Structure 1
Amino acid sequence: MGVAYRGEAYHGWQSQPSGRTVQDHLEKALSAFAAMPVSTLCAGRTDTGVHGLNQVVHLDTPLQRELFSWVRGTNRYLPPDIAVQWARVVPPDFHARNWARRRRYAYLLLESPVRPALERHACGWVFKPLDGEAMRAAAAHLIGEHDFSSFRSIDCQALSPVKRLDAISITHRGAYWRFDVAGVAFLHHMVRNIMGCLVAVGTGSRPPEWMAEVLAARSRDAAAPTFAADGLYFMGPSYDAHLQLPEHTPAMDWLP
């Protein structure tokens, strides 16, 4: 299944005793639709406040229903800020996390002297003007395989800080900046920590070459503070083409 959700009301993706997570609500809805307990595993966990546009989950069930019934039936039991987008049958050994070839994130940032109102919780905010060319020059230092310890949360449980970033694109439309980040896998808070550094460069607090120094330091203390979760969107994973799993949802057309 592909699932979209707004993250501000939830304590992240992963199930917790409080029950106030996206996974908890999804599994409760699936279990109600299927009339039996249903558990899920996702392609990439998201933190409190982070949104998902095409979070992919897999589940095993003996229940036989039409694919559209899985979508509409599950959505009937979900809160309005979580909605299943599509459902597909996959091989029995399919694994949403381990089979993912790539993951994509987008960060939406408002550049304005006034804080967001209508877009509250849907974008980050900076009140100083940003220099796009400086941010692109800084981002270029991060492309490739590196030790990203400087951008890793203290709570990160990844076995290795070495990850590969395939691309960072930075675009500007009106008052909004969009940062698209793609890679095989990410560390906890990695994108938000990168954003903190890019904003520091974009506002002129640091030069573009400082990003290389932060990367080389391999220390969280060398980087800027973690940026707000509000503007971060998990765009979803990519899988081998033969699986024919959707990589686009309507909400992606809503983002600037």
Structure 2
Amino acid sequence: MKRVKMIVAYDGTNYSGWQIQPNGVTIEQKLNEALSALLGESIKVTGASRTDAGVHSLGNVCIFDTETRMPAEKISYAVNQRLPEDIVVQDSCEVPMDFHPRFSKSRKTYEYRILNRKFRMPTRRLDTYFYHYDLDVEKMKAAASYLVGEHDFKSFASVKMQSETSIRTIYSCDVDKSGDIITIRVKGNGFLYNMVRIIAGTLIKVGAGDLEPEQMKDILAAEDRSAAGPTAPAHGLTMIGLEYEKSI
């Protein structure tokens, strides 16, 4: 028996998220099916991040245990032949049996992209959120700076939150604009349910002039979901990847 770690990129447009659902095709389901057919045994992957329907990834991490003699580093090449074009394993390697992608200390990075222009751009409809009105990026940057550090992010968590604690550490929260694309890039030790999308929705309200940057302090202090902005649409969100603190 050995444990294999994979880095998986996917376009989440056509999927009901990562986690297997009773009604809907998911990333986890497609990986299980492809790996089971390839290796001739029942395979069930465990992912680091259960991304929502429509959310994309450049580097989600998952593991599975297998009896196969196929070298772990060859599995990525072989399984990609069985996966749809919108799911691609970027790397596979053997890891210690005690490694777990969710419970090992890591830094996760997400990006939320906003297409800020007068008209939609059809080629960016699947990976950016279109926002017609001009957004003040400098105000968004100022507001984002209040989120850096260890805070109780209850105001930025969905009411469906299942975590025991809403305290998280944000290492960086940057807002940049290149052409018509505004990118909110957030790195932290973990994220609550819908947290990055709520951060994005709140920063959009700041950029639109509905909130002042300094109000971010009050929103954090409120520890109340109703104090923050709306949950931005899923398709603007991409999980960039994970950095594990201990080398594996």
TM-score by structure 2 length? 0.95
CA contact (8 A) 1:100 1:237 kept: no
What is the DSSP-based 3-state SS (H/G/I as helix, E as strand, rest coil) of the residue aligned with 1:153? coil
Matches within 5 A, 1:19-58: 20-58=25-63
Provide the identity percentage.
Answer: 39
Q: Which amino acid in 1 is paired with 2:226?
A: D
How many residues in Structure 1 have an aligned counterpart in Structure 2?
243
Q: Which amino acid is 1:3 matched to? A: V
Residue 131 of structure 2 is matched in structure 1 by 126
> More deviation in 10-19 or 86-95?
10-19
Candidates 108, 119, 124, aligned match of 1:114: 119
Q: Kindly provide the CA deviation profile for residues 2-25 of structure 1, in whole angstroms up to 9, marking residues without a partner as x.
A: 000011111111111235111011
Moved more, 209-218 or 82-91: 209-218
Equivalent of residue 93 in structure 1, options 98, 106, 110: 98
Runs (5+) with no aligned partner, structure 1? 244-256
Q: Counterpart of 1:206?
A: 211
The whole-number CA distance in structure 1 between the counterparts of 2:126 and 2:224 is 29
After TM superposition, the structure 1 = structure 2 runs for residues 126-145 of structure 1, keeping only pairs within 5 Å, are 126-145=131-150
| 1:122 positional shift | 0.9
Three-state SS of the structure 2 residue aligned to 1:235 is strand
Between the aligned partners of 2:224 and 2:42, the Cα distance in structure 1 is 43
Match for residue 3 of structure 1? 8
**Aligned residue type for 1:25:** K
Alignment partner for residue 173 of structure 2, among 152, 168, 171? Answer: 168
SS at match of 1:138: helix
> Does the 8 Å CA contact 2:32/2:44 hold for their aligned counterparts?
yes
Q: 1:15 to 1:86 in 2, by over 3 A?
A: same
1:42 and 1:17 mapped to 2: Cα distance?
18
SS in 1 for 2:12: coil
How far apart are the structure 2 equivalents of 1:2 and 1:111?
A: 31
Distance change in 2, residues 1:68/1:88 (3 Å): closer
Matched with 1:249 is none
**8 Å contact kept, 1:195–1:227:** yes
Matches of 2:72 and 2:149, distance apart in 1:
39
* Ranges of 4+ aligned residues in structure 1 off by more than 3 Å: none
- SS of the equivalent of 1:233 reads strand
Hey, what does 1:196 align to over in structure 2? 201
Q: Does 1:81 align with 2:86?
A: yes
Deviation digits for residues 183-209 of structure 1, max 9, x if unmatched? 001000000000011000111111111
**CA offset digits 1:115-155 (Å, max 9, x no partner):** 23111121112111111211111111111111111111011
Kindly indicate whether the alpha-carbon contact (under 8 Å) linking 2:74 and 2:92 is maintained by their aligned counterparts in 1: no
1:7-61 CA-to-partner distances (Å, cap 9, x unmatched) read: 1111111111235111011111110111110011111110011001101101111
Give the conservation status (yes or no) of the 8 Å contact 1:43–1:100. no
Q: What is the TM-score when the length of structure 1 is the normalising length?
A: 0.92
Q: Take 2:232 and 2:146, find their aligned partners in 1: how far apart are those partners? A: 19
| Amino acid aligned to 2:65 | D
- For residue 68 of structure 1, report the CA deviation from its aligned partner: 4.6
- For the residue of structure 2 that corresponds to 1:28, the secondary structure is helix
**Equivalent AA in structure 2 for residue 176 of structure 1:** I
Gaps of 5+ in 2: 1-5
Secondary structure class of the residue paired with 2:193: coil
Task: String of CA shifts for 1:157-180, please: whole Å, max 9, x gaps.
Answer: 111111111100111111111111
